[in-house]
Chains A and B, each alone.
Chain A
C-alpha cells in the first residue's frame, strides 16, 4: 500500500482525539494513572500531527483530502463530488495551531487543578470530544459536516460547563448556553437547506463556483454570519459568555474561548473563500465593522462594574473578539478596490495575527486567574488580597498575560494591535481612536485585578499551587514571549500564507 503519512495528517488530527476520547473511560476503569497517561498521550499525538500537517503545508503547498477515495488527494472529480472533503491549507494550519497550543496548556493544567474532583473519566472524555469537534469545524470543507461538528462542540462543551453540578449556577449557565446554541444550530441547518435547494451540492468549492447573488443567497449568507458571530460571543448576542466562562471549571474556560475562536475562523473562511463572489463586499464589511465596534465598547464598559474575577476577564475576552471582527471587516470592505493593497491586506494581517495571539494570552490570563481561585478558594474581588506574597510565579505570568491583552510593548499583543491601528486609521480615523480608548480601559481593568488580587497585606492562604499548573502556564508564557520577540517571523511565515490560502493575498 502506498500511503504517505504526511498527506493523511488532516484525518489524524481529527481521529486521534476521537479515538482517545473513547479509550479514556475504559482506562478509567483500570486505574487513575492509566487514564491520565492515555489523555496526555492523546494530546501529544494530536500536537505531533498538527505540526506534521503544518510542515507539509508550508513546504509542499495545500491539498484537498477526500474521504473514501482510492488516493486521498484525488481532488474533486465528477465521481467524487458527493464525498466529504477536508481542506489543508495555510488558514486551517493557523487555526489548528491556535487550538492545539491552548488545548495543551489547558490539559496539563487540569492535572493539577482537578485533583480533588471525582468523575474525572467523563471530564477527560468530554475534553477530547470538544477538541475533536473544534478541529473538525476548522478543517472541513463541506457544509453539512460543519453543522455536525458545530453540534458536537456545543453539546460537549455544555457538558463540561455543567461539570460541577453541586452548584446550581453551573447548570444554569450550561442550560442557557445550550438553548441558544441549539437554536443557532437549527437556523444553520435551515440555511444549509437553502444552499442545497438552490445548487444541489454542499462542498465549499462547488458552491463557490456555482454561486450567484440571488435573494435567497443573501438571506442564507446573512443568517450564517449572525449565527457564527453569536457563537464567537460578539455583542449583542454575547450574554451567554460571562455566565459560561465564569461558571465553567477553571481548566475549561480557555477551552470555551477556543470554541469561540474556532467559529470565528469558520466565519472568515466562509466569507472569504465561499461567499466572496456573490455579495457586495462593502455591505458585509460594514456589518462586521459595526458588530466589532459594538463588541469592543460594550464588552469593556460592562467589565467596569464587575466584582467577580472570571466575569471580568470574560468581558475583556468579548471586547478582544471585537478587535478581530473590526480588522477583518475593514479587510473585507476594501476587497476589490485599490485600497486593499494599501491598507486592507495589512488590516487582515493584523486581525489574523491578533487571533493567534489572543488564543495564547487569553489562555494564560484565564489559567493564572484559575491559580488565584485554587489558592484563595473564592472568586470575589472584594475578598481577595495579598497573594503576591505566596505565588511569585503566578504573579509574573499574570503580568505577562495582562500586559499582552492591554497592548503594551514589547509584548505580542502590541504587535498585532499596532498593525490594526495603523491600517484601520487609513480606513476611518474614528475606528482607530475607539480601539485605542478601549485598549487604555483594558489596561485600567488589568490594573484593577492586579491591585485587588495580588497587592496588599498578607492574608494567609492554606494551599500551595501544584506544579503541573505552573508547568502549563510556563509553556504558554514561552509561546507568548516567542511571539513577542519575533513578530515579523510569525507574520511572514504563519499569517501571510493563511491570507494567501483564502485567495486574497496582496
Chain B
C-alpha cells in the first residue's frame, strides 16, 4: 500500500464528503443536484480504483502490449453506473424546471407545500 494506491481512495472520500456537504447545507435546488453529481463521480472513481494492480496495463485487447491487465469487471460496473447517473441527473433537472414553472422559486426553503 504505497502512496500511489492510497491517493485515489483519499480523493474518493473527499469527493463524497464534499458532495454530502453540498446536499445538506445548500439551499438552491440546482446546487443540490450538482452535489449529487459530485457524489456519483466519487463512487465511480472508487470502483475504478479497486481494480488497479501495480504495474499492470489497461484491459484493452487491440494492440495490447504483452503484459498482465488490470481487472476488467469494475470497469464494466462503472460504465453501468455512469449511464444510470446520466439518466437520474437528467430526470432531476427536468423536475427542477417544472418546479420553477409552478412555484416561481427554486429555494428549497420555499418549495415545501407538502409539509408535516
Q: Do A and B bind each other?
A: yes
- Output the least CB separation between A160 and chain B (Å): 12
B95 touches A178 (CB 8 A): yes
Check A330 for interface membership: any CB of B closer than 8 A: no
Q: Which of B43, B92, B103, B113 contacts A186 (CB 8 A)?
A: B43
17 interchain pairs, CB-CB under 8 A: A148-B80, A158-B91, A165-B98, A168-B113, A171-B95, A171-B98, A172-B112, A174-B95, A175-B99, A179-B33, A179-B92, A186-B39, A186-B43, A190-B16, A192-B77, A243-B114, A247-B114
Which residues of chain B have C-beta atoms less than 8 A from A217's C-beta? Answer: none
Choose one: B36, B80, B84, B116; the contact of A183 (CB below 8 Å). Answer: B36
Would you list which residues of chain A between 259 and 288 have a CB under 8 Å from chain B?
none
Contacts of A175 in B (CB 8 A): 29, 92, 95-96, 99
Q: Which residues of A contact B (CB under 8 A)?
A: 82, 144, 147-148, 151, 155, 158-159, 162, 165, 167-169, 171-176, 178-179, 182-183, 185-186, 189-190, 192-193, 196-197, 242-243, 246-247, 302, 305-306
Q: Could you mark each residue 61-100 of chain B with 1 if its beta carbon is under 8 Å from any beta carbon of chain A, else 0? A: 0000000000001100100110010011001100110110
Query: Are B36 and A190 in contact (CB-based, < 8 A)?
Result: no
Residues in chain B near residue A168, CB distance under 8 A:
98-99, 102-103, 113
Q: Is A172 in contact with B46, judged by CB distance below 8 angstroms?
A: no
* CA–CA, A158 and B88, complex, Å: 10
B43 neighbours in A (Cβ, 8 Å): 186, 189-190, 193
Supplied contacts A179-B23, A190-B46, 7 more A-B pairs, CB within 8 Å: A147-B81, A151-B84, A178-B92, A193-B46, A196-B74, A243-B114, A306-B116
Interface Cβ pair total, 8 Å cutoff: 88
Known: A82-B73, A169-B113, A172-B113. A182 touches B92 (CB 8 A): yes
B1-49 contacts to A, CB under 8 A, are 16, 23, 29, 32-33, 36, 39-40, 43, 46-47
Q: Which residue of B lies closest to A151 (CB)?
A: B84
- The CA-CA distance from A147 to B77 in the complex, in Å, is 10
Separation of A167 and B96 alpha carbons in the complex (Å): 14
State A242–B111 Cα separation when bound (angstroms). 16
A179 B98 Cβ-Cβ under 8 A: no
Minimum distance in angstroms from A242 CB to a CB of chain B: 8
Q: Give the distance in Å from the alpha carbon of A182 to the alpha carbon of B77 in the complex.
A: 17
Point out which of B32, B33, B50, B114 has the most chain A C-beta atoms below 10 A from its C-beta: B114
Write out the residue numbers on chain A whose beta carbons fall within 8 Å of the beta carbon of B95.
162, 171, 174-175, 178
Is A171 in contact with B16, judged by CB distance below 8 angstroms? Answer: no
Residues of A within 8 A of B111 (CB): 172
The answer to whether A159 and B98 touch across the interface, beta carbons within 8 angstroms, is no
- Residues on B with beta carbons closer than 8 Å to the beta carbon of A162: 95, 98
Bound CA span A172–B116, Å: 14
With beta carbons under 8 angstroms apart, the residue of A155, A179, A243 that contacts B36 is A179
